[in-house]
Structure 1
Amino acid sequence: MAEPSAVTGRARATARARPGPAAPTARAGWWALIAAAVLYNAWVLEAVLPTGLDPRHSYVSELYAADQPFHGLFGGIEIVTALLVAAGALSLPARRYPAAGRRAGAGRWALVAFAASSVADVIVPMRCAPSVNHACEAVNPWHTATSALAHAALFGSMALLVAAAFRSPGRPPLRRWGPWVLGAALLTALATVGPLFARPGWHGVPQRAHLVLVGVWLVLLTTAHRPEPDPGARPGGP
C-alpha cells in the first residue's frame, strides 16, 4: 500500500499539472496580445501599398486620414488591434499576488482605456495628410485630443504594470525589461511632436520606432499568462 505522504504528493502534482478553469481565458488572452503586437505594426504595409506618404516624414495616423485611399484598411486594422488589446488586458491575472494586485488591476484598466482611445482615434481621424497636403492643418483638435488620451493611458498602464511586476516574486521578464521599454517608448513618443510646434520633418522615424516598442511591450505582457510554480512544491518529491 502506498504511503499517505506519497499519495498526497501525487495528488498535489496532478492538481498543479491540471489546467484550471481560467486556462482557456489565459490562452486566449495570450494570443490576443500577440496578434495585437503584430497588427499594431501594420504600418509596414507601406512597403507594398501605394500610400503616397513618405514614412520618414508622416504620422502613421495619416494612413487612415479621411481623404486617404487606404483609410478603411488602416482604420479597420486599428480598431481590430484595439479590441485585441482590450481582450488581452482583461485576461491579465491582476490578483495573482495580493501585493501587486491593486497596481496590476489599475494597469489593466489603463490598458483598456488605451484601446478605447485608439478606437476614438479612428472615429475622429485627421481630415487630411499634412505631410503631403500643405493646406491641411497639422493639428486636428479632436484627433490630437484622442491621441493624447491614448498616450496617457498607454504610459499609465506601462508604469503601473511595471510597478506591479516589481512587487511580484521571482524575476519576471516584465520586471527585467519593462522599465527599459517604458523609457524608450516615452523618448520616441516625445520625438514625434515637431509638427505640433510647426517643426515637421523626420517625425515618422521615431513614431514607427515607438510603435515597434509598444509591440514589444504587448509581447512582454504575455509573460504574465505563464503559470507560476507552486511556492509549496518541493523539487523531486511531495
Structure 2
Amino acid sequence: MTRGPKITYRRLRPASVMIALAIALAAVCYSSWVLQFVLKIDLDPVNSFLSELDAEGKPYRQVFATADAITGAALMSATIAGFLLFRRRRLTTIGWVALFCFGASTIADVLLPLHDCAPGAAGCGGPSELFPQLHQPHALTSTLAVTSVAVAAFAFSLAAFRYRRWWILREFGMVALAIGSAATVWLLVADNLPGNYALGIAQRIQVGAMSLWLLALAAAVIIEAREWTDPG
C-alpha cells in the first residue's frame, strides 16, 4: 500500500525538476529589463515602457528580444510537460493553458516589436484613442501576455486554496499576485488620467511581480512535487 506512491514520486521527480527549472529560467529571463540599469540605454524608467527596450532600432534590442524568446520557449515547454505529467484538475488545467498562452504571446512580442516609440506617443496609439491595440500589433500581444499570466496566477492560486495544497503558492505566490494586481490597477487607472503618474514604475513593478510569481510556481513544483501527482 505504501510502495506505490513512493515509486510514482521517484519516477516523476526528475521531470518535476526539469519543469521547475524551465519555469525558473523563464522568470529570470522575463526580468531582463533590470539590465537597463547596467547597459547604456537612454530611457527614463519612470516614464518609459518596457516594450521600448526591444523596439525596432534600439541598440540592445537583440539582448531583450532573446531573453523574451527564451521566456516564451521555456514556458511553453514547461506547461506542455506539466499538463501531461501532473494530475489534471479543472483549475490547474486552466492555469497550464493560460501559462502556455503567456509564453506564446511573449514570443509574439518578439516577432512583432514596437516601432521605436511608446504606446502613448503620436502614431503609436494612446489612452485617448479607441482600442489602441489596433494601432500596433505589439500592444495587442503584450495585452494578451499580461492577461494570460494573470489568468494563470489566479487559477493556480485558487487551486492551491481549493485543494489545500502548494503552500508556497498560497503564501508567497499570493503576495506576488497582490503586488502585481495593485500595479495593474495603477496602470489602468493612471493611463486614462491627464498628467504623469510614473507608468514606467508601475509596469516594472507589475512585470517584476510576474517574475516573482513564476519563481513561486517553480518552487512549488520542485519542493512539493508529490502533491502535483498525488490524487489526495
- What TM-score do you get using the length of structure 1 for normalisation? 0.78
Compute the RMSD of aligned alpha carbons: 3.0
Asked if residue 46 in structure 1 is aligned to residue 42 in structure 2, the reply is: no
Structure 1 residues 142 and 19 mapped into 2: Cα distance closer, same or farther (>3 Å)? Answer: same
Deviation larger for 186-195 or 150-159: 186-195
**Residue pair 1:92, 1:224 contacting (<8 A) in 2 also:** no
Q: Aligned ranges for residues 103-122 of structure 1 at < 5 Å? A: 103-122=91-110
The residue that corresponds to 1:19 in the other structure is 10
| Alpha-carbon shift at residue 69 of structure 1 (Å) | 1.2
Structure 1 residues 96 and 77 mapped into 2: Cα distance closer, same or farther (>3 Å)? Answer: closer
Give the alignment partner of residue 219 of structure 1, picking from 192, 215, 221: 215
| Alpha-carbon shift at residue 65 of structure 1 (Å) | 0.7
Name the SS of the counterpart of 2:42 in structure 1: coil
Deviation larger for 214-223 or 179-188: 179-188
CA distance in 2, matches of 1:189, 1:143: 18
Structure 1 residues 78 and 198 mapped into 2: Cα distance closer, same or farther (>3 Å)? Answer: farther
The residue that corresponds to 1:81 in the other structure is 71
CA distance in 2, matches of 1:53, 1:137: 17
CA distance in 2, matches of 1:195, 1:53: 19
Name the SS of the counterpart of 2:10 in structure 1: coil
The residue that corresponds to 2:178 in the other structure is 183
The residue that corresponds to 2:129 in the other structure is none
Structure 1 residues 51 and 138 mapped into 2: Cα distance closer, same or farther (>3 Å)? Answer: farther
Which blocks of at least 5 consecutive residues in structure 1 are unaligned? 1-7, 232-238
Q: Which has the higher helix share?
A: 2
**Residue pair 1:89, 1:108 contacting (<8 A) in 2 also:** yes
**Residue pair 2:173, 2:217 contacting (<8 A) in 1 also:** no
**Residue pair 2:29, 2:67 contacting (<8 A) in 1 also:** yes
User: Matched residue pairs, number?
Assistant: 218
Instruction: Report the identity percentage.
Output: 25
**Residue pair 2:16, 2:225 contacting (<8 A) in 1 also:** no
CA distance in 1, matches of 2:221, 2:55: 35
Name the SS of the counterpart of 2:142 in structure 1: helix
Measured against aligned partners, the alpha-carbon deviations of 1:82-130 in whole angstroms (never above 9, x if no partner) come to 11122232333688567xx111011101000011111111222110133
Name the SS of the counterpart of 2:183 in structure 1: helix
Give the alignment partner of residue 200 of structure 2, picking from 186, 200, 204: 204
Deviation larger for 219-228 or 58-67: 219-228
Q: Aligned ranges for residues 49-198 of structure 1 at < 5 Å? A: 49-92=39-82, 101-130=89-118, 137-139=124-126, 140-170=135-165, 172-193=167-188, 194=190
Larger Rg: 1
One-letter amino acid of the counterpart of residue 184, structure 1: I
Which blocks of at least 5 consecutive residues in structure 2 are unaligned? 127-134
CA distance in 2, matches of 1:79, 1:198: 35
